[in-house]
Structure 1
Amino acid sequence: MPGTVLLLAASPLGRGRLVDAAAVLPVLAAVAPTVLSGTDTANVVELADPVEPQGVLTRLRAAAAAPGPLTVYLTGQLHLDRRQRLPHLALARTTPATVRYTAVPWHWIREELRLRAPGQTALVVDLHADPEVWRHLHEHPLDCGRTTAVYGRIAPPHGRRGPAEPSYMKTVATLLRSGHRPALDDLHQQALARIPEETPANILLAPVTAAAPQPYPAIPHPAPGGGPGFGPAVGAQQTYGGPVGAGAGAGVSMGAGAGAGAGAGAVVAPDALLDIPRQPASPALEDPASEEPAPEDLAPEDPAADPHAAISTAVQAGRHEEADAIAARHQEAAADEHGPASEDALHWAEVRADLAMFAGDAARSCQGWMEIAGHRLAAGQEADAPAVEAAADRAHHQWGRIGEPARARELGPALAELRARVPGRRRGALADVRRQLQELQEI
């Protein structure tokens, strides 16, 4: 099966540039696609100093939806937005005052990869942090999700005039130009060994235990699609808003000079997923190995039975009602134990909203996402909290896919009310719902 490679190098133009990110692309581009991917054939997408966050999101989503292994080589710099204090990947037009609107929220990257199977996704990063986000990362490690293996480093502010060199990524590219791609853990260690003067001050990222490769590709995320006329449709990609949910944190350790040895926990083994629904993170609908028993053979009370694997098996086989029933049982149990607005219960509500989408029931998915947003707001979460914004965005997407005008008219007022409270990051969301409702009244 062919692999997919995304080469992304981004940093602001002008004095805000901390690292000359794009300088690494010529070296990476000289590496054969099959070596970059580690597969027999590969497709490569390159983004050099992109300008629009939505454009980056579209390319990332396309790469994440592709079957087979995915490797993302990411070079750039991190900043915090002033409002929510969340890490963002700066783009060409990003300034300290415009981070929220001109940079890519890191949780977008994490969430676009969340439905991919363990062992299918690797993120190789050379990131540079400004002083503010550097302090933030020591208390809030960069979250890369449970199913993505992360290799690389985060460099502190270098204190010199002019941008820093992306020396880690250049070293990785130089090693790959030999025509051989070793295991990523070995490649990571070889790269660090060639820049020993930098690593003591860096935050080093590497998996503690890499998830074993799965024999089947991840379930592709169907195109959510915006409301009619709301943003240009780009292939099978979502054109409005950002992703939702919160993945499990990726642990990191400081370089040796900062008090701890190299190495970090950026991914957990598949058996760690068995704790769900105790974990509040959004699920990775894994593709189980062919020798796994069918879902109906797994007793619900069996602690060794991963409900996400059973759900994935049912979805793959087209048994959507069975998949929803499994998730519904876990949602009910979580609601009984922790309350319907608990993260455990909302986790399973998100699963069910996604399952409705997989089943082609856009109305049920829309309603599910609206209820999730409502629960989060009622629990005191801010309207611009990432999970709240993204739930509203996904409700909006699914509403635009409802094929029955009567059902769309029925849900439209509730969506308009939600959009009045949660406008999201892109302008015109509420106006779009009102316009579409007006058009629906004329049908």
Structure 2
Amino acid sequence: MPGTVLLLAASPVGKGCLVDAASVLPVLAAVSPEVLSGTGTANVVELADPLEPQAVLTRLRAAATAPGPLTVYLTGQLQLDRKQRLVHLALARTTPATVRYTAFPWHWMVEELRLRAPGSTTLFLDLHADAEVWRQLAGRPLPVGPGANVYGRIAPPPSRRGVAVPQYMKALATILRSGQRLLPSVLHEQVLLRTTEYGDILLAQDAGAPGGGPRGEPVAVVPEPAVVLPEQATVLSGQVIVLPEPPAGVPKARTGAAKAGEAEDGGAESREAEAAGAEVDDPHLAITTAVQDGRHAEADALAARWEEAARREFGAGTAQELHWREVRADLAMFAGDAARSCGTWMGVAEARLAAGQDVRDPAVEAAVDRAHHQWGQIGDPRRAGELGLRLVELRSRVPGRREGALHHVRQHLAELRSAQHVPG
């Protein structure tokens, strides 16, 4: 039976905008309807920055009453009707004073999906909450209805002025563009491996779990003063390995500088990499295959040679060289070496700063955030303490988009010192 897909991205125009919701639609639109829906055929409906609540209701109702599975990809921001204290999805004309009249009431969403067969609806949500909604969510989780599968995150309002990026949905779309059809729960876990926001409310409700209840209750996080680091998702068998997108200038074929680098390196290490990917032209594909086969050392050796080749051809600290350092940071994560991943991500951030990139540059912030996340996964207290000193210095320069990140590093570092009985 054909499926139905609803792509909905909504956020206000102007200074009230918290997230650039519509920026994710071109990436999602590049995914085939069959992959978006998980069915043989599917109808796709796209709503970008709608103006009227009734227009959203009409499209949602049509999708909800269509036969077959329904998958909703929703990106946007939540605002509170101050009079009735009801959560709304902000639309293009929404302002804090006009939420009740210009935004889409969240309970309309729940009501329209209520009569669908349990398990036939899947929602992927990447939402940003304003300050009032965020405080309310700390004690009252966002309702979604018991019959729907729900995965995603709700992010707190940005700590300073600026428009956030829908990182969860962009990571999800990037994975889907690989063409592989994954169970929603597996897809969600793969997205969490690629996103490292602090203090987000993570959503994971499986309507098909025993008893029909949620497999994982959403976790409400009080934004101040607590900072909750996301748990690293379990790496499942048959996982999708998504490497950082290569910048312009990074060759995708095993030619030129890379082959020269392999010839210079020589030895057993070179022969191992050739055996792993001799028939593969794209080094990223060869690396991905090695990781999926559990050959982590070979994958890292291959990436190291491409890093060295990029350094010789383009120079240290260039986008091409940093790309391979980021790849190696992810490879360390996939291999379960959190300390090496943390150190590599910090090196990437430091290199970007040394090259003159601003401390608020998204690439700099992402590198520090990922280093911070991996630091929290290190099991060796002594090694964590050593890297923590470096992370404190880096966090003092790059605080990131979430309040309390620097405080968290200092607090955890103090706990490590106390556990080791190290003075000061």
Q: TM-score, normalised by structure 1?
A: 0.48
Show the counterpart of 1:27. Answer: 62
Q: What is the Cα deviation at residue 406 of structure 1?
A: 0.7
1:385 alignment counterpart: 361
Tell me how large the CA RMSD over aligned residues is.
4.8
CA distance in 1, matches of 2:227, 2:255: 36
In structure 2, C-alpha distance between the alignment counterparts of 1:405 and 1:411, rounded to whole Å: 10
Q: Hey, what does 1:340 align to over in structure 2? A: 316
- Asked whether the equivalents of residues 7 and 45 of structure 1 are also in contact (C-alpha less than 8 Å), the reply is no
1:430 matched to 2:406: yes
Closer, same or farther: CA 312–409 of 1 in aligned 2, 3 Å:
same
Change (3 A) 1:369 1:98: closer
The alignment status of 1:220 with 2:190, answered yes or no, reads yes
Q: What is the alpha-carbon distance in structure 1 between the residues aligned to residue 417 and residue 346 of structure 2? A: 22
Q: Which residue of 1 aligns with 2:122?
A: 44
Q: Please give the alpha-carbon distance, in whole angstroms, between the structure 2 residues aligned to 1:276 and 1:219.
A: 35
> Which residue of 404, 416, 421 corresponds with 1:440?
416
Paired position in structure 2 for 1:414: 390
Residues 137-286 of structure 1 aligned to structure 2 (within 5 Å): 220=190, 223=193, 230-231=227-228, 233=230, 236=233, 273-274=252-253
Query: Which of the residues 379, 384, 399 maps onto 1:403?
Result: 379
* Aligned residue pair count: 262
8 Å contact kept, 1:416–1:434: yes
Please name the residue that 1:118 is paired with: 178
CA 1:107 to 1:275, structure 2 compared with 1: closer, same or farther past 3 Å? Answer: farther
Deviation of the 1:18 alpha carbon: 6.1
Given the superposition, is the C-alpha separation of residues 4 and 386 from structure 1 closer, same or farther in structure 2, using an over 3 Å criterion? farther
Gaps of 5+ in 1: 56-71, 73-90, 122-216, 238-242, 250-271, 279-293
Q: Return the letter of the residue paired with 1:346.
A: L
Aligned-partner Cα distance in 2 for 1:15–1:420: 28
Aligned partners of 1:45 and 1:427: how far apart in 2? 28
Question: 1:305 corresponds to which residue?
Answer: 281
Task: Identify unmatched segments of 5+ residues in structure 2.
Answer: 17-48, 73-118, 135-150, 182-186, 200-225, 235-241, 258-272, 420-424
- Residue 308 of structure 1 and its aligned partner are, at CA, apart by 1.1
Task: Give the TM-score normalised by structure 2.
Answer: 0.50
Find the aligned partners of 1:244 and 1:318 in 2 and give their Cα distance: 16
Listed one character per residue, the Cα deviations across residues 205-262 of structure 1 (whole Å, up to 9, x for unaligned) are: xxxxxxxxxxxx999356477899731647949xxxxx9966779xxxxxxxxxxxxx
Structure-2 separation of matches of 1:297 and 1:247: 21
* 2:275 is equivalent to residue 296 of structure 1: yes
Q: Secondary structure at the match of 1:353?
A: helix
Structure 1 contact 363–407 (Cα < 8 Å) conserved: yes
Residue of structure 1 in register with 2:116 after alignment: none
**Identity of matched residues, %:** 43
Q: Secondary structure at the match of 2:345?
A: helix
Find the residue that maps to 2:228 and give its secondary structure.
coil
1:362 shift after superposition = 0.5
Question: Greater RCO between the two (CA within 8 Å, min separation 6)?
Answer: 1
Q: Does the 8 Å contact 2:126/2:169 carry over to 1?
A: no
Question: Cα deviations across residues 125-145 of structure 1 (Å, max 9, x unaligned)?
Answer: xxxxxxxxxxxxxxxxxxxxx
Helix, strand or coil at the partner of 1:220: helix
Distance in 2 (alpha carbons) for counterparts of 1:244 and 1:389: 18
Post-superposition shift, 1:316?
0.9
Q: Give the counterpart letter for 2:402 in structure 1.
A: R
Task: Flag the structure with larger Rg.
Answer: 2
Which secondary structure state, in structure 2, belongs to the residue aligned with residue 370 of structure 1? helix
Q: Deviations over 1:338-396 (max 9, x none)?
A: 11201111111111000100011000000010000000000000000000000000000
Measured in 2, the distance between the counterparts of 1:92 and 1:339 equals 39
Matched letter for residue 296 of structure 1: A
In 1, Cα distance between equivalents of 2:127 and 2:346: 35
SS in structure 1 opposite 2:190? Answer: coil
Distance 1:44 1:385 in 2: 34
Match among 86, 90, 105 for residue 165 of structure 2 = 105
Aligned ranges 1:76-91 → 2 under 5 Å:
none
Pairing of 1:344-359 with structure 2 (within 5 A): 344-359=320-335
Which is further off, 3-12 or 346-355?
3-12
Separation in 1, partners of 2:374, 2:359: 20
Partners of 2:130 and 2:373 lie apart in 1 by: 20
Contact 1:389/1:424, CA 8 A, preserved across alignment: yes
